[in-house]
Structure 1
């Protein structure tokens, strides 16, 4: 069921499996304010629907070279801090198809995880189906 949709994301929730799916948007410097609002909204939906499992597909997300990385890091750090205040238990990520972009994403993730002491169990996968299977408790 679609909980929310804008030009950046679609939040698709399956209450039977308690999995919220979101395809991570491409990041442009001019979208920073909207990105911040959208990730805050994502946290609100996780809290309001008491979501335990999140699947983020960032496999095709692009980051514009002019991105203000300091501002983006602040947004991602706040996102992680706010997730800690929910009952989210597990987060699966579909890795980026571009290895350079994936390395950049992993560095950001490591920095944020260390900074906020993120306790949500997280794993990376190469396909959505692998992520869905792990979140459903199936063999991967």
Structure 2
């Protein structure tokens, strides 16, 4: 999934995109998910971004998801926010899926096809 643009004026659209994503993962028992942030545009406040991504991540913990591969952005600020949220999600036990960041889709897809190991 290519991440939707997140702008203050269209934040509800991004929220709806993520709601659809979570519904899809739940309804189709998705185990591996590729999120492509490489072209993501985020023009919302840090608190709004963190709250949205944290909530989506916590909802995904209630699914059969095993692995999330994320293609990173060249936007340093976006990556700082993403790493912060990832840390918060992983700290909230129990860890139900693995998250890895990658610089390109090929590496991400390779990792997704390997067996998942949750400690």
Assess same fold via TM > 0.5: yes
Q: Does 2:52 match 1:75?
A: yes
Scaled by the length of structure 2, the TM-score of the pair is: 0.83
TM-score normalised by length of structure 1 = 0.72
* Selected match of 2:17 from 38, 61, 65: 38
What is the distance in 2 between the residues matched to 1:70 and 1:101? 12
Residue-pair matches, total: 115
Find the aligned partners of 2:109 and 2:73 in 1 and give their Cα distance: 16
Greater strand proportion: 1
Larger Rg: 1
Higher relative contact order (CA 8 A, sep 6+): 2
Q: Which runs of 4+ in 1 moved over 6 A?
A: none
| Runs (5+) with no aligned partner, structure 1 | 1-21
Please give the root-mean-square deviation of Cα atoms over the aligned residues, in Å: 2.0
Q: 2 CA distance for matches of 1:75 and 1:61? A: 15
